[in-house]
């Protein structure tokens, strides 16, 4: 099981808060070269809308992935929303993913969404 740690953030345009939750997950899909893959990855932080994961694959923004939580055997579909350049030491990339039609996947209670003031 992963460890949940509250994360203090600077104000941003994010829809909701994030929690540090490190889990080993399995991600499958097609990479930037259209090669099918299934690899282990690690979550960095999670929100009720998605997560940031680390994996050593170049992906296209907008592509669809499947993520499996081996600890609960739950899976969900995600869309890639950003990807960082590879880390020179590890080759892994921070990758932002958002849920496609799923709620309550992480099994944790999130704080209420931020209200955007005009």
Is 45 a member of any domain? yes
pLDDT at 9 > cutoff 50: no
Is 82 a member of any domain? yes
Residue range of the domain that includes 44: 4-8+17-99
pLDDT at 77 > cutoff 80: yes
Is 117 a member of any domain? no
Per-residue model confidence as pLDDT tens digits over 25-76: 999 999 999 999 999 999 999 988 899 999 999 999 999 999 999 988 999 9
Is 67 a member of any domain? yes
**Total number of domains constituting the chain:** 1
Is 74 a member of any domain? yes
Rounded-to-10 torsion of CA 73, 107, 100, 112: 180
Predicted pLDDT of residue 117:
47
Residue with more model confidence, 47 or 108 = 47
Partners of residue 21 on adjacent β-strands: 4
Is 92 a member of any domain? yes
């Amino acid at each position: 099981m992963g460890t949940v740690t509250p994360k203090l953030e600077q104000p941003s345009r994010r829809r909701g808060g994030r929690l540090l939750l490190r889990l080993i997950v399995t991600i499958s899909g097609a990479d930037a070269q259209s090669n099918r893959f299934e690899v282990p990855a690690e979550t960095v932080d999670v929100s009720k809308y998605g997560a940031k994961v680390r994996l050593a694959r170049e992906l296209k923004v907008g592509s669809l992935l499947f993520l499996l939580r081996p600890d609960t055997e739950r899976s969900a579909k995600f869309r890639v929303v950003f990807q960082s350049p590879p880390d020179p030491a590890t080759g892994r990339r921070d990758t932002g993913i958002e849920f496609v039609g799923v709620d309550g996947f992480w099994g944790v209670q999130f704080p209420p969404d931020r209200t955007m003031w005009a």
